[in-house]
């Protein structure tokens, strides 16, 4: 894929009113989610659940890309259609998570480094054959006592940039995801400081490794108060702090920013995205790449029952639509009343 094609795919993913469904949960994560509804996590149930999301009528109006897991990109719908082909047929770009997870950073207690660079070039070539159009790699930054360290940030920034360069070499749009975790007692001011520091180091590394920013997307955390912080920032504070942070650290050549929800409630993630877009006049598209914040209502409505597929799809479409509206900064909580599941 040429540079212009990479840029075209990146811009298509952040088209107005649309965003990404993150359906790339690892085996352990999807098992936890299934346990929350008292459903055993078998391969067939995972396949059925993902097919339920992907075949939701009309979801392509609000979802432009889906991030898949290694298992999922190899699965098919009930009629034998490979998931990447099914998604592409609806005008949705199939993507793939390619990192191997965050592991302990030796010598740096409680900090993490994401692994997966070994053999990545070969894996990317296979994913291209399977139909992938973009990739994702997540790095984890923890705020705590004497954390993060500059070494942790730089080590993860280097890995993110190496992954991005390899993805573009393979003709895939890399989504760069440096997540500053919500866990902790830190204030929103501390989160902004660490997020800006992290993003600046990431973009230095991307520049050093000659990654073409026009053919990338950024998946950052929003600037939020820590989960255990006594004083939680309100929606407008979050929007202003996040936009200020991004303006100070993300080049305007990046086509779009697709936020992760990072443990926020469904509606909070939508409200924050809406408030940022309501500010207006950004150099990049502000979109979403939500996992749990898009899936939780559908998962609950499904409950592991095949007869509840339609209810799950209705809940999924509603959540996708709410975030699609938030892309324009015109969402209101009153819109949540539109959803009625029987």
> What's the rounded Cα separation, in Å, for the pair 194 and 245?
10
> What's the rounded Cα separation, in Å, for the pair 112 and 292?
22
Average pLDDT score, the chain: 96
pLDDT number for residue 233 = 94
pLDDT number for residue 342 = 45
Whole-prediction pTM: 0.95
Where does 3-338 sit in CATH, by number?
Answer: 3.20.20.70
pLDDT number for residue 38 = 92
- 341 pLDDT higher than 70: no
Q: Which residues, 6+ apart, have CB-to-CB distance to 280 below 8 Å?
A: 329
Please name every residue paired with 174 in a beta bridge, in sequence order, or none if there are none: 135
Q: Which residues, 6+ apart, have CB-to-CB distance to 312 below 8 Å?
A: 52, 53, 298, 299, 301, 302
- 223 pLDDT higher than 60: yes
- The residues annotated as belonging to the active site are 177, 219
pLDDT tier, 338 (very low <50, low <70, confident <90, very high otherwise): confident
Q: What is the torsion angle, in degrees rounded to the nearest 10, for the CA atoms of residue 264, residue 265, residue 271 and residue 276?
A: 10
> What's the rounded Cα separation, in Å, for the pair 109 and 84?
39
The 3-state DSSP class for residue 218 equals: strand
Q: Are 186 and 225 in contact (CB under 8 A)?
A: yes
Tell how far CA 195 is from the center of its chain: 16
What is the domain partition of the chain in residue ranges?
3-338
pLDDT number for residue 339 = 67
In the predicted model, what is the mean pLDDT of residues 68-79? 97
pLDDT number for residue 280 = 84
């Amino acid at each position: 894929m040429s540079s212009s094609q990479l840029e075209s795919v990146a811009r298509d993913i952040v088209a107005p009113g649309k965003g990404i469904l993150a359906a790339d949960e690892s085996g352990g994560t999807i098992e936890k989610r299934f346990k929350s509804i008292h459903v055993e996590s078998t391969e067939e149930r995972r396949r059925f659940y993902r097919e339920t999301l992907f075949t939701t009528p009309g979801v392509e109006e609000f979802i432009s890309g889906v991030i898949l897991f290694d298992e999922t990109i190899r699965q098919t719908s009930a009629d034998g259609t490979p998931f990447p082909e099914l998604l592409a047929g609806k005008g949705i770009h199939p993507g793939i998570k390619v990192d191997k997870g965050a592991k302990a950073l030796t010598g740096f207690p409680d900090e993490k480094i994401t692994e997966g660079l070994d053999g990545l070039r070969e894996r990317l070539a296979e994913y291209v054959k399977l139909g992938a159009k973009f990739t994702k790699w997540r790095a984890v930054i923890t705020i705590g006592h004497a954390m993060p360290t500059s070494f942790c940030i730089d080590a993860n920034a280097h890995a993110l940039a190496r992954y991005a360069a390899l993805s573009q070499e393979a003709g895939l749009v890399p989504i760069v995801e440096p997540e500053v975790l919500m866990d902790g007692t830190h204030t929103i001011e501390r989160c902004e400081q660490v997020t800006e520091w992290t993003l600046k180091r990431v973009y230095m590394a991307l520049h050093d490794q000659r990654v073409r920013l026009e053919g990338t997307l950024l998946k950052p955390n929003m600037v939020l108060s820590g989960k255990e912080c006594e004083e939680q920032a309100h929606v407008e504070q979050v929007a202003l702090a996040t936009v200020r942070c991004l303006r100070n650290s993300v080049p305007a050549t990046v086509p779009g920013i697709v936020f992760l929800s990072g443990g926020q409630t469904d509606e909070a993630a939508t409200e924050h995205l809406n408030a940022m877009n309501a500010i207006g006049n950004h150099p990049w598209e502000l979109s979403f790449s939500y996992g749990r914040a898009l899936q939780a209502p559908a998962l609950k409505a499904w409950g592991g029952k095949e007869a509840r597929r339609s209810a799950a799809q209705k809940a999924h479409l509603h959540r996708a639509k709410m975030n699609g509206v938030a892309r324009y900064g015109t969402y209101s909580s009153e819109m949540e009343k539109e959803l009625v599941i029987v």
